[in-house]
Amino acid sequence: MNTLLVGWNDQSISKNRLIGLLERKATLALSLDKWSRAGIWVISRGDVGYPTKIKDRLKNLAPNILFGIGNPSLFEQNYIAVIGSRETDEKDLEVSKKIGTNVAFQKGGIISGGARGVDEAAMLGSLEEGGHCIGILADSLIKKSTALVFRKYILNDKLVMLPLRDILQY
């Protein structure tokens, strides 16, 4: 590999760093295969399927790579964000669910953290009404996406989830 990089002179990445990254390609291939079998997609900013709304709004600050599960074309829809407490009473949960239902009835979607409480109630209100949602997750993507409460909506192309770290890095 050293012979391929003779004369490498790029200040943004050292020759040793580049060699180290290239040597990890087998590990990356195995990881991509594992994620793919779990239903996780990986989209780079140069891919055709990369969400145009993210590119258009964030311009060159759009994440280079997105990891997620579910239908990535849902990013192109319109959303209202609902975020709230995990610890709340039944009345607040009912109101949150009703907000989700009303948004779905008006052909919009809910974008939320997917955590139990207000977030989950609003998302379920929308999904149960036939709406669509985006979950930006603080916890495990695989764990949350395999939960029975959300799995059927992922399989029916009504829900897409991605880890919060993809968004926070930018």
The tens digit of pLDDT for each residue in 48-107 reads: 889 998 899 888 888 888 889 999 999 999 999 999 998 999 999 999 999 999 999 999
Which pLDDT belongs to residue 159? Answer: 96
Which pLDDT belongs to residue 1? Answer: 57
| In a domain? residue 5 | no
In a 10 Å sphere around its CB, with 0-12 CB exposed, 13-18 middle and 19+ buried, how is residue 133 labelled? buried
Domain count across the chain: 1
Is the pLDDT assigned to residue 35 strictly greater than 60?
Answer: yes
| In a domain? residue 155 | yes
| In a domain? residue 90 | yes
| In a domain? residue 143 | yes
Query: What residues have CB less than 8 Å from 81, skipping those under 6 apart?
Result: 110, 111, 112
CATH of the domain at 100: 3.40.50.450
| In a domain? residue 1 | no
Torsion of CA 29, 34, 36, 40, to 10 degrees: -110
> Is-contact 78 51, C-beta < 8 A?
no
| In a domain? residue 153 | yes
Domain span at residue 91 reads 10-170
Confidence of residue 168 (pLDDT cuts 50, 70, 90): very low
| In a domain? residue 24 | yes
Higher pLDDT, 36 or 108: 108
pTM greater than the 0.85 cutoff: no
